[in-house]
A and B are shown apart, each in its own frame.
Chain A
């Protein structure tokens, strides 16, 4: 419906922009770029590790925005892009790429030589490594019963109580497959029915959470005995003495990714910004501010040992798990979600 209108409007905008830019030198730096993120602690870490140093180095100010996903589509479709760079969940980034909402990344500007294997993609690039980990409440689960694998977490004879999982097929299905004995390098393409059969075995014990905050809350308060959490959500409570613990065994590594919305006026500056954030120095600073691992391997030596133990992409932790296949979800997410929802209602 928006298709026929898009091009004339963009052409008008483009012409207007060209007229405005005419007196300036071609390729001149913009005074500022807009970077959208999910806010909160992530944005605090971005500000300390990326935004401020980037502004200090280039003079380009960073204007922050909230990365409402549907806004990406709305603004790109209308030819009125508001963000120059956006952070989003890597699976969402892959989906946006499939829908044609993103600019191609310029790997002549972005240096990918030291990045973790499997990270660079044509239209999006993960900028950190987080993990969906097994976690448990140490009051509800005796130390001897603490799960070392997803299969042990599934075992209701090992310890009783509810198991908390994300009410989404992404990540939950990979974990269900590992619990059913699928090797971590054999997860894709996902055997949806097998994953559901695995979840079916503990369905009455599942507590479905819908937000990261909720997942931590129910774990700390003891509503559930164990389950899946994001490492960033259980790290602080554990450090603060809450009765929670977690393990990177069979972790599913997930990521935030940078994308450039199609039609941005500051494509070059956006590319420079992304390239800057992926350098070892800023990557190390980021990982010190929030417990998400760097994607640049050269950042690891810049981080102290105790901190590395909690980072998903450290040399010690990375081999324990597997990186999520974002493109599989971009291709199959919706129909898998439909099946997942039907199963849940049944």
Chain B
């Protein structure tokens, strides 16, 4: 890899382009970094400069439980998305011409409908006398209507539906770049299909897997509408409790502390995963 990089003449930024850099940096500094910093500062400075907000979040109340549940469901949703998206992406990546356009079109089109509307649609489908229950009864899989709404199952299905494109797109992009001659070479050298997949295709697709996993997991952590519509008493996610503290009780310091912990957890998990993934990629390419 390093050898290839050295061989190609690197593209450099001209001075003119460098002058444009302060614009986006300034924009991000004012509208992203500064507000974020305010949130972090508020969590330790208000109402008094100490860690009382953090003590409360990590104490006996419901907050730590909710944060843990948020991570659990985000991991579950990410895993399901990966399992569902991987074969679909592998097939799509092999398509050419019209079929590929139709497939990508379908995936992108699902992004045009808002998560609110799609969650409402699931609300209707999952009802006691809704389509899903009718189908379950007609197929003999259930004797009476099953309670689907208000459960983690309903929340997970709704979230997977919304987030699947974010797993599919990076996977397809990476898989399309996999050189088919490598697979042919492996086959000629006598590798069985399973071995071919595990030793050649899977390692080469890992950058796409990592991008998809990061995108879906981090987006999952901030979900609000889907869990509040499809979930019940036990399915409170972090964003819901942050909204409640911020907009029902106007306790911005506490809301800031929960948000800061969620952010810190996200960064830690992301870095840990990144390190793990890098080790995995280099090992399998060796």
Contacts and interface: CB of A to CB of B under 8 A. Distances in A.
B232 A207 contact: yes
Interface stretch (B23-31, B239-247, B265-273, B277-285): B239-247
A1 B46 contact: yes
Interface in B130-169: 130, 147, 149-150
Nearest to A161: B128
Contacts of B62: 338, 341-342, 344-345
B233 A167 contact: yes
A345 B249 contact: no
B236 A341 contact: yes
Given A1-B41, A70-B246, A99-B250, A345 B234 contact: yes
Contact of A208 (B232, B241, B247, B251): B232
Contacts of A96: 250
B110 interface: no
Interface string B224-241: 000011001110100001
A162 B38 CA distance: 44
B85 interface: no
A120 B60 CA distance: 38
B249 A344 contact: no
Nearest to B149: A223
Given A1-B46, A223-B128, A342-B62, A208 B248 contact: no
Interface in A28-87: 68-70, 73
Contacts of A344: 62, 233-234, 236
B150 A207 contact: yes
Given A210-B228, A221-B128, A341-B241, A95 B250 contact: yes
Given A1-B42, A333-B249, A207 B149 contact: yes
A68 B250 CA distance: 11
A186 interface: no
B128 A338 contact: no
Main secondary structure of the interface of A (DSSP, over half): helix
Q: Which of A69, A168, A338 has the most CB of B within 10 A?
A: A338
B129 A221 contact: yes
Interface string A2-46: 000000000000000000000000000000000000000000000
A208 B234 CA distance: 10
Contacts of B60: 342
Interface in A326-343: 333-334, 337-338, 341-342
Interface in B86-126: 123
A345 B149 CA distance: 17
A206 B38 CA distance: 39
Contacts of B69: 345
Interface string A83-105: 00000000010011001000000
A223 B149 CA distance: 9
A337 B129 contact: no
A162 B149 CA distance: 12
A318 to B, nearest CB: 28
A334 B127 contact: no
A167 B243 CA distance: 14
Contacts of B45: 1
A330 to B, nearest CB: 10
Q: Which of A68, A333, A342 has the most CB of B within 10 A?
A: A342
A222 B130 CA distance: 10
10 closest cross-chain pairs (CB), A and B: A341-B62, A342-B62, A344-B233, A334-B249, A223-B128, A210-B228, A70-B247, A208-B233, A338-B61, A208-B232
Interface of B: 38, 41-42, 45-46, 60-62, 65-66, 69, 123, 127-130, 147, 149-150, 228-229, 232-234, 236, 241, 244-252
29 contacts: A1-B41, A1-B45, A1-B46, A68-B247, A69-B248, A70-B252, A73-B252, A92-B248, A99-B250, A167-B233, A168-B248, A206-B233, A207-B150, A208-B150, A210-B228, A214-B229, A221-B127, A221-B128, A221-B130, A223-B128, A333-B249, A337-B244, A338-B62, A341-B66, A341-B236, A341-B241, A344-B62, A344-B234, A345-B66
Given A341-B236, A345-B62, 8 more contacts: A1-B41, A69-B250, A70-B247, A73-B250, A218-B127, A333-B248, A333-B249, A344-B234
